[in-house]
Amino acid sequence: MFSSSILGVAFLAVLGKTVSAQDDVITSDEFFYGDSPAVYPTPGMDENGTWGDAMSKAKVLVDQMTLEEKVNLTGGVTSETGCSGFIPGVERLGFPGLCLADAGQGVRSTDYVSSWPSGIHVGASWNKELARQRAHFIGSEAKVKGVNVLLGPCVGPVGRVVSGGRNWEGFSVDPYLSGGLVYETVSGIQGAGVMTSTKHFIGQEQETHRIPSSSGDYVEAVSSNIDDKAMHELYLWPFYDAVRAGTGSVMCSLQRLNNSYACGNSKSLNGLLKGELGFQGWVVSDWNAQHGGVSTALAGLDVAMPNSDGFWGEYLVEAVNNGSVTESHLDNMATRILTSWYQLKQDQSGFPKPGYGMPLNLKLPHNVVDARNKSAKSTLFDGAVEGHVLVKNTGSSLPLDSSKMKLISLFGYSAKAPNQNNYEDPAGDASFSAWPMGAESGNLEELNVGFFGNLSHSYASISPNGTLVSGGGSGSTAQNLISAPYDALVAQAHEDGTALFWDFESGNPSVNPTSDACIVIGNTWATEGYDRPSLRDDFTDGLIQTVADQCANTIVVFHNAGARMVDTFIDHPNVTAVIFAHFPGQESGKALISILYGQSNPSGKLPYTVAKNESDYGALLKADMTLATDRYQKFPQSEFDEGVFIDYKHFDSLNITPRYEFGFGLSYTTFGYADLEVVKTDVQTQVYPTGDVVEGGQEDLWDVVAHVTVKVSNTGDRDGKEIAQLYVGIPGDDVPAKQLRGYEKSLIAVGETISVDFPLTRRDLSVWDVAAQIWKLQAGEYQLFVGSSSRDLPLKGTLTL
């Protein structure tokens, strides 16, 4: 473990750098030297840990390899499969290579797989058990297809920038909520025999400036300048959980971290990931995120994707031969890769040939490898249902009563399936076609322009050509089937004898005045490559107001990538209900109609905060953009000055009342809370942990210090699921007023009372001590709050340590 206080001070150095207005434009990277400390050498692996047997097998195999064969493992190659990346095999030794495939929402860009709810949808479910079930089936489908490594799940970005283009790929803006869900996801996927590559490590919180730009003067990728305390308590937090779950791989990110590229940052890769967190697997670069040769190898990068052209390959062979990189270090790189292969038992005969079911071109004849599993249907549906969040329901307008629905009018572009759901080659000079990138309903031209960093283009806020079941880019799902809301509503109306009118195009439609209900379905589009231009759009807001002016029972639904402003219409007396439907995957329509008609009771809660005004988010509303007149125009900077105070912690610190707080969500029933009790365990509570570093950090960080129990009752007239939430106020200065430290989702029958237990670990109650470079458990009084959201916390107590 690297515990020198010097490292912590150096990690903060970038935040203290000051310049005057008259200073010249910075043209050399030398200006930033020392912003991120050097941590060498790369830590070795734990031969006595849970990966010990796999490591022994890997070392035997590596010892039989030539120098060139070991080097070949460290760079991707082109294969004859549809895998996103491929690590070449060593045929003579029986190693077949590894197929790497997108992504965290299921196997992307292939046929005969399922389209699963996206990360933010899982986050909105707050359901750890369901997250593991989803992950198991995702991993099972990947295995059938011959995928060795799934490039996910995603816990970075955390969601610092409210309009971040990839926030929807992750679970939540809260690291504790994300940590619990990523643990279950890694466990579920790897339990099915497929490695996870948890991403993106670390600090890639915006798409703007995410990659270097060579149009005109060369501009480096943005630098995320993160202090040591925020790094540990926020951005690194869910990676602790992923490593503890045994993730076989971690993907390093595209941007710079404290002015050193993340895939060559020795402090983060050697010091934090492989040192402090005890990570035993291998680090793979995001595509084209390698920017150095010897330096990246020594910093802790193990595999470069999609290849290592210009940096490794023959140059890495030369570096080993001339002593710039020791062969023992190369052995460590190769051993990490093969250890994961053995650990997941992919060496055994039951694992398919890498890329077996991933055709290179779906337009050409190919074998049918159907990875779908009928037993997954209930998980697909339940996952879609539970990520819907009901935030307004005036006068119990929902659920709809089939016997009273004589006429329903349906409006909005996100109600119907896109006109096309089909694989095709990219057109002309375009890099991408729509289907593999989740852009069938969006503007493909914009995605092709924005993916590579065009900052001058004006991007749309919505996907106007159909419903959304995921966002865009490498994190999108493979749509082999879509249940759109319109299709599911037609089936329900046919069953009930309800008349339907609809208009999916007009922003100013006429409404039949005899409509019993009017449903307006819009969306918010987000994709890899560029950040969202806005948290609202005039077309959809105008459509909602037009319909509400004509219909006394107007229900609004958004398929949203994250926070969506509602202030222009939320107080309209005829807007009776609002649902944030997120990205539900293929069962979208069926899930929504099940909720609207009360066949399912809504149980999702917001994994982010919805503000009343955009300005309430402060400087984190939009990504940092560095313009040509700026001193840092060649080296864009993003200063994370807010520390850990993002989302609800920001709102709490400034006493800003949100529209809908973090953790908020309505149900068709009601719940009551009572009888908070605190019981300390006999675990030692000395100031600093003393345990050995294992996967997930020092082992006693995970010791349970206390249990908080409460009683939760269903006081309404429907069975329903409630998410009980525990928040802790940790003593000290410059700490949030409260932080999520427990959540449990339970099905509670009408009239039933259950007991909910929240175990609190040493890590849950600790702060990061920058000077001592270790987690610190303070003596003092810890405030405890339990309830149904971050601002509805009727039960209060204390824990004294």
**pLDDT for res 104:** 87
Residue closest to 92 by CA, chosen among 124, 108, 123, 68: 68
Q: Estimate the crossing angle of helix 327-343 against helix 52-63, to 10 degrees.
A: 130
Q: Are residues 299 and 158 in the same domain?
A: yes
pLDDT in tens, 23-73: 789 999 999 999 999 999 999 999 989 999 999 999 999 999 999 999 999
Kindly report, residue by residue over 114-160, the tens digit of the pLDDT. 999 999 999 999 999 999 999 999 999 999 999 999 999 999 999 99
Per-residue pLDDT, 7: 41
pLDDT at 696: 98
Cβ distance 161 to 533 under 8 Å? no
The pLDDT value recorded for residue 97 is: 98
Q: Tell me: the pLDDT tens digits for 608-657? A: 999 999 999 999 999 999 988 899 999 999 999 999 999 999 999 999 99
Same-domain check for residues 274 and 392: no
Taking only the tens place, the pLDDT of each residue in 420-441 is 999 999 999 999 999 999 999 9
CATH number of domain containing 328: 3.20.20.300
Asked if pLDDT for residue 228 goes beyond 50, the answer is yes
| Exposure b/e, 184-212, CB count within 10 A at least 16 = b | bbbbbbbbbbbbbbbbbbbbbbbbbbbbb
> Do 87 and 219 belong to one domain?
yes
Q: Other CB atoms closer than 10 Å to residue 480's CB: what's the count? A: 17
- Percentage of residues of the chain with pLDDT beyond 70: 97
Report the alpha-carbon distance of residue 414 to residue 172 in Å, rounded: 24
Residue 368 lies in a domain: no
Domain boundary among 620, 652, 682: 620
Whether 735 maps to a domain, the answer reads yes
- Torsion, Cα of 500, 501, 505, 509 (10° steps): -140
116 within a domain of the structure (yes/no):
yes
> Stretch 739-749: mean pLDDT, rounded?
98
pLDDT reading at 460 higher than 90: yes
Does residue 793 lie within any of the structural domains? yes
724 within 8 A of 784, measured Cβ to Cβ = no
Distances (CA, A) of 268 to 337, 689, 711: 19, 21, 42
On whether both 392 and 254 belong to a single domain, the answer is no
Q: Give per-residue pLDDT as tens, 534-573.
A: 999 999 999 999 999 999 999 999 999 999 999 999 999 9
Are 36 and 10 in contact by the 8 Å Cβ rule? The answer is yes
Q: Quick one: 680 and 614 in the same domain?
A: no
> Is residue 286 flagged as an active site residue?
yes
Catalytic residue among 111, 241, 286, 516: 286
Radius of gyration of the chain, Cα coordinates, nearest whole angstrom: 26
Please, are residues 336 and 79 in contact by the beta-carbon 8 Å criterion? no
pLDDT at 5 over 60: no
Read off the pLDDT band of 103 (50, 70, 90). Answer: confident
- The CATH number of residue 789's host domain is 2.60.40.10
- The residue from 318, 344, 370 where one domain ends is 344
Report the pLDDT value the prediction gives residue 752, as an integer from 0 to 100: 98
Name the residue range of residue 232's domain. 42-344
Is the predicted pLDDT of residue 17 greater than 70, yes or no?
no
What is the domain-level CATH number for residue 600?
A: 3.40.50.1700
pLDDT score of 99 more than 90: yes
Task: Specify whether 56 is located in the same domain as 196.
Answer: yes
Bridge partners, residue 410, by sequence? 502, 519
Q: Which amino acid is at 669?
A: T
181 and 314 co-located in one domain: yes
| Contact in structure between 316 and 308 (CB atoms under 8 Å) | yes
Is 349 inside any structural domain? no
Q: What's the rounded Cα separation, in Å, for the pair 189 and 283?
A: 18
- Res. 578: pLDDT tops 90: yes
Confidence check: pLDDT of 16 > 70: no
Please indicate, yes or no, whether residues 150 and 271 belong to a single structural domain of this protein. yes
The total number of structural domains that make up the chain? 3
Tens digits of residue pLDDT in 488-499: 999 999 999 999
What residues contact residue 401 under an 8 Å CB cut-off, 6+ apart?
none
pLDDT score, position 214: 66
Cα distance from N-terminal residue to C-terminal residue, the chain: 26
Which pLDDT value is given to residue 4? 34
pLDDT, tens digit, 9 for 90 and up, residues 362-374: 999 999 999 999 9
From the list 680, 694, 781, the residue with the least C-alpha distance to 730 is: 781
Residues 112 and 192 in one domain: yes
Query: What are the tens digits of pLDDT across the range 687-706?
Result: 999 999 999 999 999 999 99
Task: Identify whether residues 463 and 534 lie together within a single domain.
Answer: yes
447 domain-assigned? yes
The answer to whether residue 564 sits within a structural domain is yes
With respect to residue 788, please indicate whether it lies within any of the assigned structural domains. yes
Mean pLDDT of the chain: 95
pLDDT in tens, 122-134: 999 999 999 999 9
Residue 643 makes CB contacts below 8 A (sequence gap 6+) with 227, 229, 230, 234, 734
pLDDT of the residue at 217: 82
The answer to whether residues 169 and 297 belong to one domain is yes
Reading across the β-sheet that carries 98-101, which strands appear in turn?
Answer: 85-87, 98-101, 149-150, 195-201, 249-252, 282-285
Residue 19 confidence (pLDDT) above 90: no
Task: Give tens-digit pLDDT for 251-307.
Answer: 999 999 999 999 999 999 999 999 999 999 999 999 999 999 999 999 999 999 999
Per DSSP, the residues of 358-424 read: --S-TTS---------GGGHHHHHHHHHHT-EEEEEGGG--S--GGG-SEEEEE-GGGS--S-----
Say yes or no: 612 and 715 in one domain.
Answer: no
